[in-house]
A and B are shown apart, each in its own frame.
Chain A
């Protein structure tokens, strides 16, 4: 890493004029960490003080109804019994152990955090400034932790623990709640308020921010303990940080925060309810054991296999053929035309495809006049033709675009190879098979491995727009299933579980594919 230009030169002549340089850098770290924690603690306190009126007790309402493979698996490992020890008499979930984990596990966690903090503070050396700031830092950082421990303790005493409330938002209010048992009126008000305001994200306050801030500060302290130079770099690169931090926050909100919603797949989620009952792996069980799963999975795999095989063969073939065109201008024009469908939306493409396949459309006219079909067929209403129709539609839309990457790879092949092959007497096909194809082999391999990584992504827009009630049995893949379940039937938890399953399998596949690509093609995708 070359960082010479900006770091080593004294950009500012008299550094003592600048506030930052007047104090040791550790002072600023401590101050920053402390103020972050203080700020967030106060924010949480003030923003949530009016939201909790009543004393909600945690209840498991859902009874155990299914014994799918997940339940069976977890029962066999013993983890299940640890988390959901079942009461023999009532048949309902008894979350005692789960609660105990939250009750005593979290305070333990905070104590460990506090120990770390103390350690970091003790290991600080040097002058009085730092000592002062360390004490201030320690006190402010410890405050939320102490509060947490206190609340947890009190709630454990009162047996009034909200499972959602290990989030930061109410550690102070639960203290009040635990003393006030709550009247029916207060409860009604709370319900009305929560129905409007609270959902899984709780307006970003469901996350234990003080805890995260404490950990980040501790981490910063440990990391920067010896290394003053890094902080200097940070200071000199403040422009970079100013540019990138808002973007990182944005990415956090839109890409990482929704992951909190994955908890829905372990709940019986109903929008507007303040307490979502936990149901363990019930939704996964339902998805894997009900009749849909096999059909949906078959459709998904079949569609992606057809897309894979058709897509690869056609685009490689087309790239080879386009490469053989000698006239530069013709080649250009043909390439441009072949890109055209790529720029159409799937809606437009579906409209065009439908026009094409209609009962009195051009395909029927053609097939009848050639005598291949005996009567007019409605392809879009035939479940058995759906996969093939979808595959060909995909080819039509993307084949031209997919040739770009192969053609780019072909231009990188050394022309002298062709010349020497010619001298050796190779014909057109000899050159094609012995030079061009091996030349783009690594490109093909990387793309192929990457597509296998996306085996469960069988497309969403295309099948959704091309399917109808008649073809749905063969058209419904995982993405469509999520859409139908989640949006149309309002079965949020199940849809989230299915989506989560898909994402996790996809990550697994992609990671495996990346490893394979590293090993076999000596090229990494990431």
Chain B
């Protein structure tokens, strides 16, 4: 079957090569230009920020830095890593991301496993019960008072506890599990394994692709979240990286971008720190960790999304 398909695609390719009309060539050139434009638009802002973060802070204010720092300097990064609040923020961000990802994956996959078993008595009811939460949200203020009553307001728990369960994630994992052969579970049952053991030792290991996918979603969501800090955890020891960055961005935004030198920002190693350099450096610190995770998971990722979207 596969060889036939390969042959066919070879055949098709060969035909294309023969039938390259001038119109095709024009189209491909146009397409190539479009893709180049796309790559530039997607990559340039990141590279530009990277260049600014490595530039001499005071010099950055003059503008005109594109892809390469004009005067190379690590002052901005030094300032970031000397700032105690930012270190706390970094620690908090990492901690909450890890805890929520592990906990969230566990909770979601347990729910997904139960819902994927066709013999489960309340399957339909529980599915509806979960799906409803995707559409009905109480809103900001009731949530705020709920957190207050539960006593998780202004504690670290507010970062991981409310987000453990995600109905959409459960549905995605469930679809993947439903695609697995039933005989796996039955065989394990005959061998005398309990349900929880079947889940942990039989089902979970073969769900790696979808777990990687959903795990990445949860991790990205948690790492990028600043709003929880803004509303539910307004204390210095609970700072997160994105929230610190947000404060810098919105303060700069309020000035409606007049490039001002702010000597009050503090100096580092003889350099005067400027908001623009500081922001670029924090942006990099807040972005690079999550971008580092992505390539490792990408091979699972496409597979997981694909299956999820087909079955979902």
Chain B contacts for A344, CB-based, 8 A: 224, 287
Whole-angstrom distance between the alpha carbons of A198 and B8 in the complex?
Answer: 72
**Assuming A250-B164, A428-B24, is B38 touching A334 (CB within 8 A)?**
yes
**B293-312 near A? 1/0 per residue, CB < 8 Å:** 01000100000011001100
Per DSSP, are chain A's interface residues mostly helix, strand or loop, or mixed? Answer: helix
Whole-angstrom distance between the alpha carbons of A358 and B194 in the complex?
Answer: 62
B202 smallest CB distance to A (angstroms): 14
Partner of B41, one of A240, A396, A404, A496: A396
Contact B46 A352 (CB under 8 A): yes
B137 in the interface (beta carbon within 8 A): yes
Contact B141 A465 (CB under 8 A): no
B179 in the interface (beta carbon within 8 A): no
A340 in the interface (beta carbon within 8 A): yes
Contact B256 A468 (CB under 8 A): yes
Q: Which of B229-288 contact A (CB under 8 A)?
A: 231, 242-243, 245-246, 248-250, 252-254, 256-259, 276, 279-280, 283, 286-287
Q: Which residue of B lies closest to A261 (CB)?
A: B142
Chain B contacts for A334, CB-based, 8 A: 35, 38-39
Q: Which of A403-444 contact B (CB under 8 A)?
A: 404-405, 408, 415, 418-419, 422, 427-428
B251 smallest CB distance to A (angstroms): 10
Q: How many residues of B contact A (CB 8 A)?
A: 102
B298 smallest CB distance to A (angstroms): 7
Chain A contacts for B9, CB-based, 8 A: 415
Chain B contacts for A350, CB-based, 8 A: 249, 253
B140 in the interface (beta carbon within 8 A): yes
Contact A354 B195 (CB under 8 A): no
Partner of A380, one of B162, B257, B291: B257
Contact B250 A465 (CB under 8 A): yes
Chain B contacts for A264, CB-based, 8 A: 141-142
Contact A470 B117 (CB under 8 A): no
Chain B contacts for A5, CB-based, 8 A: 119, 186, 189
Contact B141 A240 (CB under 8 A): no
Chain A contacts for B31, CB-based, 8 A: 321, 324-325
Contact B220 A343 (CB under 8 A): yes
Whole-angstrom distance between the alpha carbons of A322 and B34 in the complex?
Answer: 10
Contact A318 B118 (CB under 8 A): no
B167 smallest CB distance to A (angstroms): 8
**Assuming A1-B119, A343-B294, is B246 touching A465 (CB within 8 A)?**
yes
Q: Which residue of A lies closest to B139 (CB)?
A: A499
Q: Which of B178-229 contact A (CB under 8 A)?
A: 186, 189, 194-196, 199, 220, 223-227
Contact A343 B195 (CB under 8 A): no
From A13-21, A47-55, A79-87, A482-490, the one touching the partner chain is: A482-490
Contact B42 A338 (CB under 8 A): yes
Contact A500 B310 (CB under 8 A): no
A477 smallest CB distance to B (angstroms): 14
Chain B residues proximal to chain A, CB less than 8 Å: 8-9, 12, 15-16, 23-24, 27-28, 31, 34-35, 38-39, 41-46, 48-49, 52, 63-64, 66, 107, 110-111, 113-115, 117-122, 126, 129-131, 133, 135-146, 148-150, 162, 164-165, 186, 189, 194-196, 199, 220, 223-227, 231, 242-243, 245-246, 248-250, 252-254, 256-259, 276, 279-280, 283, 286-287, 290-291, 294, 298, 305-306, 309-310
- 13 A-B pairs within 8 Å (CB atoms) are namely A6-B119, A237-B120, A243-B195, A258-B142, A258-B145, A259-B142, A325-B31, A334-B39, A352-B283, A360-B259, A380-B256, A380-B257, A499-B139
